[in-house]
Amino acid sequence: MSGQGFHVHGPHDHELEHAAQGGHDSSSSGGMIAQIAVVTAIIATVGALFSYMGGATQANAGLYKNNAAIKKTEAANQWSYFQSKSTKQSLAEFARDLAPEDKRVAYQGKIDRYEKEKGEIKLGAEKLETEATTWDKSSDEQMHQHHRWAQATTVLQVSIALAAIALLTRKKWLEYGMFALAAIGVVLGGLAALHI
């Protein structure tokens, strides 16, 4: 400052005046930046966990669907075996009906044996079909859960993008939108965790 009332500002003085007038480095803006940075890091961490869970449930759904297909194939094989026993039984019944009286007892023994074997095969095939249905249901549940995890992850990613826009524009309503979307993402993740 000179003695004639002339005042010269240095760069630091200019920045302080600008900040005092609500410029880009004001303490409220700096607080906003720090708050958004911390929240964004938390959202990104939660989003990474949700993404992992989404991938895991998708992999499980595929494995369960594969197990269901294996059980269905095994059941189909058992039903084919059942059919072959039915055919043999029918041939034995036909042979019994055409055979002389002294040979009918032997054919009846085969018929009884085929009937018993068919009963055991049928139980096995039905058990395999039940297992296939259970695996299919488990796969469907995992896919539903995967979709919930994916929804939660997507909403959190949009929240992070909104945080970046809020930082660039310094708009408070965008910051509130970021918090709202983050909350929605966490709720969707909770629904996924609860299998809803």
Give the pLDDT confidence score for residue 129 in this predicted structure: 96
**Of 31 and 29, which is predicted with more confidence?**
31
| CA nearest to 189, candidates 159, 160, 158, 146 | 146
Q: What is the mean pLDDT of residues 114-136?
A: 95
pTM passes above 0.85: no
Give the pLDDT confidence score for residue 33 in this predicted structure: 85
Give the separation between CA 158 and CA 155, rounded to whole angstroms: 5
Give the pLDDT confidence score for residue 4 in this predicted structure: 61
Contact 48, 171 (CB under 8 A): no
Give the pLDDT confidence score for residue 124 in this predicted structure: 95
pLDDT band, residue 132 (cuts 50/70/90): very high
| Alpha-carbon distances, residue 66 vs 7, 39, 52, 152 (angstroms) | 81, 40, 21, 27
Give the pLDDT confidence score for residue 27 in this predicted structure: 52
**Domain definitions of the chain by residue range:** 29-193
Is pLDDT at 29 greater than 70 in this prediction?
A: no
Is pLDDT at 23 greater than 70 in this prediction?
A: no
Is pLDDT at 131 greater than 70 in this prediction?
A: yes
Q: What is the pLDDT of residues 92-101, one digit of tens each?
A: 999 999 989 9
Q: What is the pLDDT of residues 148-193, one digit of tens each?
A: 999 999 999 999 999 999 888 888 898 899 999 999 999 999 999 9
Helix (H) or strand (E) holding 34: helix 27-98
Q: What is the mean pLDDT of residues 24-37?
A: 69
Q: Treating both helix axes as pointing N-terminal to C-terminal, what angle do 27-98 and 172-193 enclose, rounded to 10 degrees?
A: 30
Alpha carbons within 13 angstroms on the beta-carbon side of residue 172 total: 4
